[in-house]
Structure 1
Amino acid sequence: MAPKAQTPSKGSKKAVTKTSKGSTAGKTEKKHKRRRKETYSIYIYKVLKQVHPDTGISSKAMSIMNSFVNDIFERIAAEASRLSHYN
């Protein structure tokens, strides 16, 4: 029960600082929404679990696999572009 009592006090401190910053920042600058980075990680993970249900993957390995899929996709798109220009 003690950690729950501490959580609102931390939240209230953060809320006070946000309101003071928000009132000054709202007049001068607009906040831009961060663009979501699209990756193939969820699809790679689903396929991995289908093939090897008990195996996991590190974030570095997932990054490498994502780069691999992006590279292959770009190569296929480039080849499709070349083939379409022939006809």
Structure 2
Amino acid sequence: MAPKAEKKPAEKKPAAEKPAEEEKEKPAKAEKAPAGKKPKAEKKIPSKDSGAAGEKSKGKKKKKGKNVETYKIYIFKVLKQVHPDIGISSKAMGIMNSFINDIFEKLAGEASRLARYNKKPTITSREIQTSVRLVLPGELAKHAVSEGTKAVTKFTSS
């Protein structure tokens, strides 16, 4: 019991005596606790403070985030061209956006594969056209190719 009693007052000594003892104990503590934990806690605290600070700081935080580009505007424009009197729900718009992203990824992947097979460094309209024929089924592919050709000729003529 006597050695334990001696250790307790040694730990509770004034600040002037602590540095000498802490230097002996620091290497053991530094090995046990990783240095990365404290900065993470410090990062969390300012985010809470910035939320309480006001709406301006929230707006700045949101602007730092990734800009998510969607096809929602274009889907709506096409819908109004085809059916001016019909609307679309946000859930349906999300599904349409996911559908377009999925088709785009498939076409881009196929066009990339075709360019690699032919040992070409560039994806041209020819690779896109071939990938459309491979990815889309039957009549849909024919219509897509004709619309794509029309769009490319309109773009090059202007």
CA distance in 2, matches of 1:41, 1:49: 12
Q: Which deviates further from its counterpart, 70-79 or 32-41? A: 32-41
Q: Give the aligned partner of residue 53 of structure 2.
A: 21
**Structure 2: where are the runs of 5+ without partners?**
1-49, 119-158
**Runs of 4 or more off by more than 6 Å in structure 1?**
none
Compute the TM-score of the two structures, normalised by the length of structure 2.
Answer: 0.36
Q: Which has the higher contact order (CA 8 A, sep 6+)?
A: 1
Larger radius of gyration: 2
What is the percentage of aligned positions where both structures have the same residue?
70
Aligned pairs, number: 63
Q: Which SS does the other structure have where 1:36 is aligned?
A: coil
**Structure 1: where are the runs of 5+ without partners?**
1-17
Q: Give the aligned partner of residue 39 of structure 1.
A: 70
Q: Which SS does the other structure have where 1:54 is aligned?
A: coil
Match of 2:101 among 55, 66, 70: 70
Structure 1 residue 31, shift from structure 2 partner: 4.4
Match of 1:57 among 88, 101, 105: 88
Compute the TM-score of the two structures, normalised by the length of structure 1.
Answer: 0.63
Q: Give the aligned partner of residue 115 of structure 2.
A: 84
CA distance in 1, matches of 2:74, 2:68: 15
